[in-house]
Structure 1
Amino acid sequence: MIEIKNVNKSFNGKQILFDVSAKFEAGQTNLIIGQSGHGKTVLLKSLVGLHAIDSGQIIYGDQVFSDMSFLSQKQIRQEIGMLFQGSALFDSLTVEENVRFPLDMFSTKSAEEKLDRVNFCLKRVDLNNVNHLYPSEISGGMQKRVAIARAIALNPKYLFCDEPNSGLDPKTSIVIDNLIYEITKEYGITTIINTHDMNSVMGIGEKIIYIHSGRKLWEGNKEDILTAKEEQLNDFVFASELFKRIKERV
């Protein structure tokens, strides 16, 4: 579990996050949603320590992550997997080398053990016979699955996903959502997903917080969100014609 308490964050005197509190449970897909520019990416980066918060607390399990020094945070960082918006694969490395990268950086496994782990992770994301291909030789959806394999290579306790469906077609997006959901359940990971994709929200949104103008205005799940009374949330959820029609049926 990760808990945040009264988190505030500013840049150059401009406050971005205002007193944000939430709990993100293990074994659940926890979603942070909201419009672009309203603070959800800053919140995600603060959670992993890329931004130091101004005040409040970020707690991993029973450890106050935000109070630790950068060096003291290292052990927790080794328990974190990251899935970046653009996959962020290394173009000059093969698929196998990309997935092995965190193992080379942070583990003491033998070369044989690393290869076994790489192959296990690739199999888990339904990729076979791609070890020696380069990112440019596989599709965008396959690149995203390689990125997921890399994110779970160290068997993380925490998984952070920044707009995991960015640039993907709707069918592939569902595949990625389902894969993240399955891995979360299978390994009991605390998964936090930053998204503005309502299809993801309605597909895998077990715990959702809505951020608007740097404030948490609502929290609930995918069943609650269609009948929520928060005006700003409704403007966000029902922005598309599809979800307007869904609302009329609720």
Structure 2
Amino acid sequence: MIEAVDIYKSFDGKMILDNVSATFKTGHTNLIIGQSGSGKTVLLKTLVGLHEPDSGSVIYDARNFTGMSDQERIDARKEIGMLFQGSALFDSQTVEENVRFPLDIFTDQSLEERRERANACLKRVNLENINHLFPSEISGGMQKRVAIARAIALNPRYLFCDEPNSGLDPKTAIVIDELIQEITQEYNMTTIVNTHDMNSVFAIGENIVFIYEGKKHWEGTSDDIFHSDNQALNDFIFASKFFKKIKEHR
């Protein structure tokens, strides 16, 4: 479980996160949603330690991540997997080398052991026999799955996903959503997904935090959304005619 407790964050005197508190549950796909400029990306980066809050705390399973020393944070980051928006694969490395990268950095395993683990992770995301290929030689959806394989290489307790469906066609996006949810349950991880994809919200939104103008305006499940009287949330979720029709038929 990850907890955000009274998080404030500003840049150049402008308040971006205003007293945000939220709980992200273990074994669940936790989504952070909100319109562009709402503060959701800053919240994700604060939770993972890429931004320091002006005040407040980030708690990882009763451990104060915000108050950790540099060495304690290095140790804690070994428990974190990160799926970046653009996959962030190294173009000059093969698929296997990309997946093996965190193992090379953070473990003292033999090369054979690291290769075996990389291959096991690739198999888990349904990618086999592409070890020797480079990112430019595979599709965007396959690149995303390679990035997921890399993110789980260290058996993380926490997984952060920044717009995982960005740039993907709807069919591939569904595959990625389902894979993230399956891996979350299989590894019993605390997974936090930053997204504006409404299909993801309704497909895998087990716990959803809605950020509006820097504040947490709502928290609940995808089912709860249909019964919410939060106007800002309704305006955001049901902006399209398609999702309005879904609500009308509930």
SS in 2 for 1:66: coil
Q: After the TM superposition, which residues 22-171 of structure 1 pair with which residues of structure 2 at under 5 Å, given as runs?
A: 22-171=22-171
In the alignment, the residues of structure 1 paired with residue 68 and residue 103 of structure 2 have an alpha-carbon distance, to the nearest angstrom, of: 24
Deviations 1:70-125 (A, max 9, x none): 33211111100000000000000000000000000101111110011001000000
One-letter amino acid of the counterpart of residue 190, structure 2: T
SS in 1 for 2:71: coil
- Percent identical: 68
In the alignment, the residues of structure 1 paired with residue 42 and residue 228 of structure 2 have an alpha-carbon distance, to the nearest angstrom, of: 25
SS in 2 for 1:172: helix
SS in 2 for 1:183: helix
Corresponding residue of 1:5: 5
In the alignment, the residues of structure 1 paired with residue 78 and residue 117 of structure 2 have an alpha-carbon distance, to the nearest angstrom, of: 16
One-letter amino acid of the counterpart of residue 246, structure 1: I
Corresponding residue of 2:202: 202
Q: Which runs of 4+ in 1 moved over 3 A?
A: none
SS in 2 for 1:8: strand
Corresponding residue of 1:248: 248
TM-score, reference length from structure 1: 0.99
Corresponding residue of 1:184: 184
SS in 2 for 1:72: helix
Deviations 1:148-173 (A, max 9, x none): 00000000000000000000000000
Deviations 1:160-216 (A, max 9, x none): 000000000000000000000000000100000000101000000000000001100
SS in 1 for 2:141: helix
One-letter amino acid of the counterpart of residue 135, structure 2: P
In the alignment, the residues of structure 2 paired with residue 216 and residue 28 of structure 1 have an alpha-carbon distance, to the nearest angstrom, of: 19
SS in 2 for 1:56: strand
TM-score, reference length from structure 2: 0.99
One-letter amino acid of the counterpart of residue 43, structure 2: L
Q: Identify unmatched segments of 5+ residues in structure 1.
A: none
In the alignment, the residues of structure 2 paired with residue 99 and residue 38 of structure 1 have an alpha-carbon distance, to the nearest angstrom, of: 33
In the alignment, the residues of structure 2 paired with residue 241 and residue 89 of structure 1 have an alpha-carbon distance, to the nearest angstrom, of: 36
In the alignment, the residues of structure 2 paired with residue 166 and residue 239 of structure 1 have an alpha-carbon distance, to the nearest angstrom, of: 19
**Cα offset for 1:69?**
2.6
Deviations 1:126-160 (A, max 9, x none): 00110000000000000000000000000000000
SS in 1 for 2:208: strand
One-letter amino acid of the counterpart of residue 85, structure 2: Q
One-letter amino acid of the counterpart of residue 199, structure 1: N
Deviations 1:55-78 (A, max 9, x none): 111000111011123332111111
One-letter amino acid of the counterpart of residue 53, structure 2: I
